[in-house]
Amino acid sequence: MKFFFTAVLLFCVFGIHAQDQNLDQAGVRLSAQERERLQLILDKPIDESSLFSSRVVLHRDKDLAAFKLGDVVRREENLRAWAAIDPQDGKWGLFGFLMDTQNRAEGYRLGRELVNEQKWPPNRVRLRIQLARNFIDDSNLKESAKLIAEAENILRSDVKNMPRQGNTTFWILRAEVEFYIAKAILNMRMGRWQEGIEDAKSAVVKSVDLSKLMSMAPTENAKQWSYGTMLHAYATLGQQQILAGLYAEAEWTLRDAYQRTKTYGMPETSMQGFYNRVADYYMAVGQFDESYKFAVMSEKIVLDQGYQMGSPMWLWARMRFNSALIGSDKWQEALKSFDLVDQETARLGRAPRGAQSQSLLRGYVYIRNGQFEKALSILQANMNWHVNNFGEDHYFTSVNRGVLAVALWKNGRVTEARQGFDRAVRGLTAPESLTGDYVETAIQQKISRFILQSYLQLVAQTADKDPKDAELIFQIAEQLNVSKVQQALAEAAVRSGVSEPGLSSIIRKEQDAKNEIATLTNYISGQGTEEDKRRNPQILTQMRERLREIEKERREYKVQIQKTYPEYFQLIQPKPPSTQDIARQLQPDELFLAITPLEDKTYVWAIDGKGEVKFQISNLSEADLKKLVTQTRKTLDVAELGLRAPPFDVNSAHQIYKQILAPFEDELKRSKHLIVATSGQLAQLPFAVLPRTPDSKSTAWLVQDIAISHVPAANGWLALKRLSKQPTAKQPMLAWGDPAFDANPTTSIAGGGNVVRSMAVTRSLEASQRNIMDAANYVAYSKIPPLPETRDEVLRLATILKADPQQDLIMGHEATRSSVLKQSASGNLAQKQVVVFATHGLLAGDLPQLNQPALAMAATKDAKESPLLTLEDVLSLRLNADWVVLSACNTAGADGKAEEALSGLARGFFYAGSRSLLVTHWAVESISAMNLTTKTFAAYKQNTQIRRAEALRQAMLDTMKMPNFSHPTYWAPYALVGEGGR
């Protein structure tokens, strides 16, 4: 008996990386000779008088040929003819094909008949799973769950007891792969994301086993469709990781998946959906140029297969094309693309509907191109749809309301715009909203930032006359700064909180509700076509009712968390403070400087201890600052060049000072401690190196006149001020240094001489250059550059702080992640004033499946034990430290990603109980670095009244006086992040 399944598999939900000049396509491009051979098979007539078995073989060959050639019309014709003579294989193939067409009702009828007709256990499982997948697509989750449960019972009973002979093992394994895929997708649709990911991983494991049994496949068709099933397992896992925001894990899944598309020889014509998801992946992580390349590849396949411009299949590819252009700020090209969509759909008499209309993005593009009336029209219609489907204050409704407010403002309707902005921002930042824990893609973050920026620009027009508006723009700016790092921190906080007694049960319920809301929201957002309405007459209404019900439950969970665990709630959803909140925490000789760069200007506030607030708008844009910071850093991150180091770029650095700080000269002169709150490019630069004059011969460094500390955002600083009122720890120090990244026993040697601490792993390789098709781009953990010179440093610190080297220094192979967690669990960590991690800091993506910033600790011989102290781990620590020293965690990185990671890591340590961090901004030279840290702590130890920021300042002044270290690359790499007071 032959068992054959010819459903079109959606092995299209994962991505690969494009090389810059030569895009390596995942599918195998058919040669001219192969296309000719397949066309001959497809054109060969079938002799109706021939043997039944001969006709079946030819129908099967024609089906495979049509699939590889991408000829959907001829494929349907052949399948219908086959089903007419073969009520098993032919009928099954037609069922699978029809479920991806407009003839789904006919497909459901065939599927039900096949479920009742099939008796062989593996086929009984597979048909139920296939039908369950179709019900999931139509949001009939109840029927889908019923069929999956039936399939599981058959697997556990009838299939389990079958003798493994012939190709039975092959079909059983195939059924198990399909079962886990369907179960994973159902779990995701129901908001059980973790369970869904685990099921998808099981599907991948089973698919690898299946690949070893391809010699058992009874036909070439069965082999090809099984390859598709295997790739679909990877697709499901990759898609779920992307939706959950686990981009680094998704990237690793995609690498493996890409290699298998090559191994299996998947035809290029089958890769259109694959390329769509590639584009989606790069869209999610903000690599818009890469996303664009794959959108173009997808569109080409659609057109080559004979679909017309304006058709739904073309629109799915064009949607990614449009989104990539918007992400890259190519506004005129995006406008032309939308015009082409309108032109071609009008030609076919079918306007874009539902998700394919891209109404929000259209409105955004119209605004950017000055077509304000057109934007207003489409956004008002889109607003009505969102209110009807999601309610007045849902997150998605609030986003649309915010962009609509921009359109109202640009059309001169200022009063309505203000009202729209006010309500939109409340919806985006309210405790019960999805903001902060909804996994936003890069383009969604871009739109949210556009709304806040536009709101700030509008309110700034009246801020000089209205004190309330002056206060409001400060809070909007704070929200802009916080949003840069909030998502990763919130996700880590949630995972960390799950282990906290009492809090854990509430979090799990709240997270399950959040995930179900996100799934329902995404599904409803994609509906709206006439086909959807005919297919789902009652489902959308039921989903909207369920959405309202689960949102109410979630609001109650979040209120419970906010009341019972306020510090945790402030971490996952921080509330912007007022200027007076900040002023009340300042000493008379302190000045708080809040800086928010936007795409047109930079907004700066200076707040002193008397409550006086001075506001200034600089003409420097984000792009201007990026250029100046980049130019300045090129002359700072040069320690490894020694005497060949270029002179410091005084001009670029002074331009920053002149535009940002010079307007506050009087305030600076009255102050001894400057607290700087900023994000983005400016946070990659220690303000100590800013020259107050343009004179390069006798540079007047800012740090010569004032101590400086940095904070990621104002609300975090206020939390630290509250923490500083607690009694300090009594014991001096606990340090981890020179971790052994290679688990094999070797002898670490203390460093000596002029050594530069190399930056870890792939930091020198821009993320956009890292090729997902080449796993060799990742450095093996054992090959991470060691840090033997840090032994001398921590020994000197131990001497200065009067710590016990035998008890308080954990070095080499002992400096493991587990040793940190054990010190915390025992309570010993909370007894230390100073905690040192002399190791590399890693970013998400620096190592395979690393989704959050982490510290690289010593490796162990247990492959299952992670050597990484992640942000999630940091949040679980119990500290009461005045200082945490990260002496090799550098912020040099692509597009501010490292700065954002450092900000997240800093807030993690603050939440754990540290008052400040001492961090490096670039790779440091060991002797000057040792001088800086030892002199800092010597000053701090000797003078019980000295501020932490002042202790660092004195160390900097001492180091710059040394003949070999006058260049700021040596004396300025360290910055104090957090509470710079005592």
DSSP string, 536-588: -TTHHHHHHHHHHHHHHHHHHHHHHHHHH-HHHHHHHSPPPPPHHHHHTT--T
Confidence of residue 511 (pLDDT cuts 50, 70, 90): low
Helix and strand numbers (H, E) in the chain are 39, 13
Average pLDDT of span 625-643: 91
First-last CA distance in the chain = 82
Residue 243: phi and psi, rounded to 5, are -60, -30
Q: Is the pLDDT of residue 489 over 90?
A: no
CATH class of the domain at 1-8+29-117 = mainly alpha
What is the Cα–Cα distance from 295 to 272, expressed in whole angstroms?
9
pLDDT in tens, 889-939: 665 443 455 566 566 777 788 878 888 999 988 888 889 999 999 999 999
Highest mean pLDDT among 140-154, 265-279, 628-642, 948-962: 948-962
Mean pLDDT of the chain: 82
Reduce the secondary structure of 65-119 to three states and give it as a string.
HHHHHCCHHHHHHHHHHHHHHCCCHHHHHHHHHHCCCCCHHHHHHHHHHHHHHCC
What is the Cα–Cα distance from 642 to 212, expressed in whole angstroms?
55
Do the Cβ atoms of 813 and 745 come closer than 8 Å? yes
Strands 916-920 and 974-978, by their bridges, are: antiparallel
What is the Cα–Cα distance from 862 to 847, expressed in whole angstroms?
18
Q: Is the pLDDT of residue 862 over 90?
A: no
pLDDT at residue 102 in the model: 65
Q: Is the pLDDT of residue 119 over 50?
A: yes
On the 0-12 / 13-18 / 19+ scale of CB atoms within 10 A, 213 is middle
Q: Is the pLDDT of residue 437 over 50?
A: no
CA dihedral 824, 826, 827, 829 (to 10 degrees): -40
What is the Cα–Cα distance from 490 to 821, expressed in whole angstroms?
21
Q: Is the pLDDT of residue 512 over 70?
A: no
Confidence of residue 649 (pLDDT cuts 50, 70, 90): very high
* Fold designation for 579-714: Nucleotidyltransferase; domain 5 (3.30.420)
pLDDT at residue 953 in the model: 98
Amino acid identity for residue 313 in this structure: M
Confidence of residue 30 (pLDDT cuts 50, 70, 90): low
pLDDT at residue 961 in the model: 94
pLDDT at residue 191 in the model: 72
Q: What is the pTM (predicted TM-score) of this model?
A: 0.77
CA angle (210, 214, 216) in 5-degree steps: 110
Please give the structure tokens belonging to residue 741: 């990244």
What is the Cα–Cα distance from 232 to 204, expressed in whole angstroms?
9
Reduce the secondary structure of 163-216 to three states and give it as a string.
CCCCCHHHHHHHHHHHHHHHHHHHHHHCCCHHHHHHHHHHHHHHHHHHHCCHHH
Confidence of residue 837 (pLDDT cuts 50, 70, 90): very high
Highest mean pLDDT among 68-77, 325-334, 556-565, 973-982: 325-334
What is the Cα–Cα distance from 312 to 318, expressed in whole angstroms?
10
